Amino acid sequence: MASFSSLKILFNINIICLLVMVAFSMGGVSAQLSTGHYTYSCPKVFEAVESVVQSAVAKERRMGASLLRLHFHDCFVQGCDGSILLDDTSSFTGEKTAIPNNNSVRGFNVIDDIKSKVESVCPGVVSCADILAIAARDSVVQLGGPNWDVKVGRKDSLTASLSAANSGVIPPPTSTVSNLVNRFQARGLSAKDMVVLSGAHTIGQARCTSFRNRIYNETNIDPSFSRTRQSNCPSRNGVGDNNLAPLDLKTPTTFDNNYYKHLLVKKGLLHSDQILYNGGSTDSLVETYSKNPKAFSDDFVAAMIRMGDISPLTGSNGQIRKNCRRVN
């Protein structure tokens, strides 16, 4: 009996040690993003986000591009931390009025709806930063693009940075290739990532103020294309600034590789689009993606996952906001 008791005690000690090791192991993993982060804490999160995105995109297909863009503009300022969602207060100025965002980024009400739906399923568990990442993926899928497993586990920031958002970290539509490459490399993304993520412009629209100079003053543009765009974008600054034009002339609400095909015939809407195919280092990638939609889809997925890894807040950093527009 004594030997049996000893074995039992030893067995219990081993079990305790194993549990401690697992706990430490999970503690280490919790500081990283993973596709299974909400497997037990909120297994219905992806279903909840998808249902709201599906409804929003069905109502307005342009919303898919807007939600994708929100994730991009969030990640490039302070990392993927939901900072772009914070409203201004009497003592705080957020990023929404920054030059790249003001009168441009949209979809905040949809994010509010998603947050409300997720909170009803599992309150206080899912961050707004993760909601942005999941909604971006779901938007691409709803518009016919590729699917992928979204890594989650981000926390929400307690701050935002108007100055950082205005500093040029978000590349403006007037960017050169070197400027684009530098901005992406500063975020740990390659020139290839930059070219393939620019392919997100296969959906969505741009304001006249973003492409006015191109359609009136640049030479590497198809004449008939520039005339078409001029009909809805007057040359005078301040007139028709917010008039919209599709970034992809042919299929602006379908996620495909037509964006690159347009660049080959000088029909890129923004200067920062057409500059990717203008006799420079990125020409070969544009040609590849124009001919090979699978290569575009595969590389886009890989680049989106890498972008989602930009400086996330994890572990004890940040918080899970109850309302995406303000800190708890």
pLDDT digits (tens, 9 = 90+) for 286-308: 999 999 999 999 999 999 999 99
Task: Report the pLDDT value the prediction gives residue 201, as an integer from 0 to 100.
Answer: 98
How many domains does the chain fold into? 2
CATH number at residue 298: 1.10.420.10
203, 224: one domain: yes
pLDDT at 39 (0 to 100): 97
Examine the domain organization and report whether 145 and 222 are in the same domain: no
Q: What is the pLDDT of residue 127?
A: 98
Cα separation, 243 vs 208, whole angstroms: 5
- Indicate the residue type of 166: N
Q: Which residues constitute the domain of residue 128?
A: 45-165
On whether the CB atoms of residues 187 and 219 are closer than 8 A, the answer is no
Residues 67 and 159 in one domain: yes
d(CA 71, CA 304): 10
Q: What is the pLDDT of residue 154?
A: 98
Is 36 a member of any domain?
no
Q: Do 202 and 261 belong to one domain?
A: yes
DSSP string, 20-34: HHHHHHHHHHTTS-B
Residue 144 confidence (pLDDT): 97
Dihedral over Cα of 270, 272, 273, 278: its sign? positive
202, 294: one domain = yes
What's the Cα-to-Cα distance from 188 to each of 129, 198, 276, 303, 326, rounded to whole Å? 19, 16, 19, 11, 28
Which CATH number covers residue 52? 1.10.520.10
Catalytic positions: 73
pLDDT in tens, 39-81: 999 999 999 999 999 999 999 999 999 999 999 999 999 999 9
d(CA 114, CA 319): 18
Tell me, yes or no, whether 83 and 116 share the same domain: yes
Q: Are residues 152 and 271 both part of a single domain?
A: no
Compute mean pLDDT per 10 residues along the chain, 328 residues long, and list them. Answer: 47 43 37 91 98 98 97 97 95 92 94 98 97 98 98 97 92 95 96 98 96 97 97 94 95 97 98 97 98 98 98 96 97
Residue 23 lies in a domain: no
Tell me how far apart the alpha carbons of residues 2 and 246 are, in angstroms, rounded to a whole number: 81
Q: What is the pLDDT of residue 103?
A: 86
Q: What is the pLDDT of residue 91?
A: 84
pLDDT of residue 90: 87
pLDDT of amino acid 32: 87
Domain match, 159 and 238 both = no
Please say whether the dihedral angle defined by the alpha carbons of residues 22, 25, 30 and 35, taken in this order, is positive or negative.
Answer: negative
